[in-house]
């Protein structure tokens, strides 16, 4: 048997294989014509790889056929390895969008919205009606009560529960047993600070009468709104120590007090402060003065606080001078005296300050300015009040013609000059409505305006 080796030139494809190759080439050409320029390059690479794979398959098929014919004869040609052919990409139809375009159109509209905070204020600008309740105290038959009537009602209400009164008295008795400890802390150089829920004025007064009856004591009412540093220094230097010092210069007065106490080491002065966190006591100068006085060896401080943010008044330097020993003295007593100087919605003289300031400004006006202001007051009393909670104010044009008929002003410029004086003294507010017109409103409640008119009529 003669040797036979198959070569690539000896293989001739059959008619069926040629038909398959031609069909594959036509499909590749159709795919290339349907794609764009970029897609045509990609498809041409895959079709070239497909053609190469077909030739390799023909070669391997020819080698296998010749090997079968040889029936185990040795082969001199190197074996051909099959190259894997990647699957061809599916052709994109004419109506199918690209992936980038599909992702752009399929994105939800919320992802393309950019939040801008300034648009909120421009969209919801002030101009609409504020939805507020009109259930005010002015709608009551007796919207305000005298001070004595209110106190009497509160006392009657507090005395109804005997169990509560007995529990409060038990608390006061427990705190009274600690007076000896407070004196020991004061003797050791500490300042006693009383805190807790309820008024501690009664407890501090009891400590004064029972433990400090024969000692020089100065009581400072910190809840008094007009208390000043000069008042405290005058009481310490001139009333207790009888130095007769001018206390206009605070540092010099404190230096003189320190020298006087140093000369009398056996003299111990006690300073009892009700509401160390009161409105008049929150100034930095007042706290610095009291802290320096508390740092003196012969002066002992016992104070009370009621505000939850009272410790924010003191920095590290003041705390070092105060040298507080904190003592919880919850009494559950009402703050009757401490709140007596504050405005209350239930008290009849709650707007006395606003009424007096308006009366003083009104007295300094000219006769024409008084007429203009009273025209606004009368219009607000007639058109406003509890019956009209959404009263916008008196239109400027109505005020102009009313003053023109009363010979109060001669032009719009003169009227606006008088209104500017009212707005400077906080007696009038000018609001612009949605249609552009200007409305005039007096920012004082209806009851106070009535009292103002009545008092003005009495003076005339």
Domain 352-458 belongs to what architecture?
Orthogonal Bundle (1.10)
For the chain, the structural domain boundaries read 164-328, 352-458
pLDDT value of residue 8:
45
Using only C-alpha atoms, what is the Rg of the chain?
49
How many Cβ atoms sit within 10 Å of the Cβ of residue 160? 8
Q: What is the Cα–Cα distance from 308 to 318, expressed in whole angstroms?
A: 18
Stretch 418-441: mean pLDDT, rounded?
A: 84
Are 440 and 432 spatial neighbours (Cβ–Cβ below 8 Å)?
no
pLDDT band at 431 (very low <50, low <70, confident <90, very high): confident
pLDDT value of residue 46:
44
pLDDT value of residue 176:
94
Of 7-16, 75-84, 213-222, highest mean pLDDT: 213-222
pLDDT value of residue 325:
96
Percent of the chain predicted with pLDDT > 70: 64
Stretch 108-131: mean pLDDT, rounded?
A: 54
pLDDT digits (tens, 9 = 90+) for 313-355: 999 999 999 999 999 999 999 888 888 777 666 665 555 556 7
pLDDT digits (tens, 9 = 90+) for 242-275: 888 777 788 888 999 999 999 988 899 999 999 9
Q: What is the Cα–Cα distance from 388 to 89, expressed in whole angstroms?
A: 79
What is this structure's pTM?
0.52
Of 34-48, 63-77, 229-243, 385-399, highest mean pLDDT: 229-243
Helix (H) or strand (E) holding 106: helix 99-106
pLDDT value of residue 241:
86
Q: What is the Cα–Cα distance from 175 to 331, expressed in whole angstroms?
A: 9
Stretch 155-174: mean pLDDT, rounded?
A: 81
On the question of pLDDT at 445 being above 80, the answer is: no
Q: What is the Cα–Cα distance from 105 to 161, expressed in whole angstroms?
A: 74
pLDDT band at 207 (very low <50, low <70, confident <90, very high): very high
pLDDT value of residue 45:
46
CATH topology of domain 164-328: Rossmann fold (3.40.50)
On the question of pLDDT at 120 being above 50, the answer is: yes
Q: What is the Cα–Cα distance from 282 to 409, expressed in whole angstroms?
A: 48
User: Nearest-CA neighbor of 195 among 185, 206, 203, 205?
Assistant: 203
Q: What is the Cα–Cα distance from 11 to 58, expressed in whole angstroms?
A: 8
pLDDT value of residue 87:
52
pLDDT value of residue 125:
56
On the question of pLDDT at 159 being above 50, the answer is: yes
List beta partners, residue 217: 270
On the question of pLDDT at 1 being above 70, the answer is: no
pLDDT value of residue 75:
45
Of 51 and 189, the one with more pLDDT: 189
pLDDT digits (tens, 9 = 90+) for 403-412: 988 888 888 8
Stretch 78-92: mean pLDDT, rounded?
A: 52
On the question of pLDDT at 132 being above 70, the answer is: no
């Amino acid at each position: 048997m003669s040797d036979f080796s198959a070569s690539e030139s000896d293989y001739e494809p059959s008619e069926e294989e040629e038909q398959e190759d031609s069909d594959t080439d036509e499909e590749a050409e159709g795919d290339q014509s349907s794609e764009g320029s970029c897609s045509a390059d990609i498809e041409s690479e895959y079709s070239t790889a497909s053609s190469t794979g077909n030739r390799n398959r023909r070669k391997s098929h020819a080698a296998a056929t010749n090997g079968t014919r040889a029936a185990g004869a040795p082969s001199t040609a190197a074996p051909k390895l099959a190259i894997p052919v990647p699957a061809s990409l599916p052709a994109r139809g004419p109506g199918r969008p690209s992936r980038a375009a599909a992702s752009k159109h399929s994105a939800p509209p919320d992802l393309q919205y950019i939040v801008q905070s300034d648009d909120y204020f421009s969209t919801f600008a002030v101009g609409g009606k504020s939805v507020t309740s009109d259930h005010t105290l002015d709608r009551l038959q007796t919207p305000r009560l005298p001070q004595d009537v209110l106190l009497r009602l509160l006392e009657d209400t507090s005395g109804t529960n005997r169990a509560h009164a007995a529990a409060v008295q038990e608390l006061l008795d427990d705190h009274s047993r600690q007076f000896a400890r407070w004196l020991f802390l004061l003797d050791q150089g500490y300042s006693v600070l009383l805190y807790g829920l309820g008024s501690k004025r009664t407890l501090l007064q009891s400590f004064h009468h029972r433990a400090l009856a024969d000692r020089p004591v100065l009581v400072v009412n910190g809840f008094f709104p007009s208390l000043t540093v000069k008042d405290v220094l005058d009481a310490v230097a001139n009333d207790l120590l009888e130095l007769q010092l001018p206390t206009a210069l605070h540092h010099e007065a404190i230096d003189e007090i320190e020298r006087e106490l140093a000369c009398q080491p056996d003299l111990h002065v006690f300073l009892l402060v009700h509401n160390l966190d009161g409105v008049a006591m929150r100034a930095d100068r007042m706290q610095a003065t009291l802290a320096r006085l508390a740092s003196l060896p012969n002066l002992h401080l016992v104070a009370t606080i009621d505000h939850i943010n009272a410790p924010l008044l003191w920095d590290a330097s003041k705390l070092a001078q105060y040298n507080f020993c904190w003592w919880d003295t919850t009494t559950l007593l009402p703050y009757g005296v401490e709140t007596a100087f504050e405005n209350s919605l239930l008290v009849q003289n709650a707007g006395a300050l606003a009424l007096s300031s308006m009366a003083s400004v009104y007295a300094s006006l000219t006769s024409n300015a008084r007429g203009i202001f009273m025209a606004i007051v009368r219009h607000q009393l007639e058109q406003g009040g509890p019956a009209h909670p959404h009263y916008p104010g008196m239109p400027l044009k109505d005020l102009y013609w009313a003053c023109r008929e009363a010979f109060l002003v001669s032009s719009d410029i003169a009227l606006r000059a008088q209104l500017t004086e009212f707005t400077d003294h906080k007696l009038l507010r000018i609001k612009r409505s949605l249609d552009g017109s200007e409305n005039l409103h007096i920012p004082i409640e209806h009851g106070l305006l009535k009292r103002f008119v009545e008092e003005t009529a009495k003076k005339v």
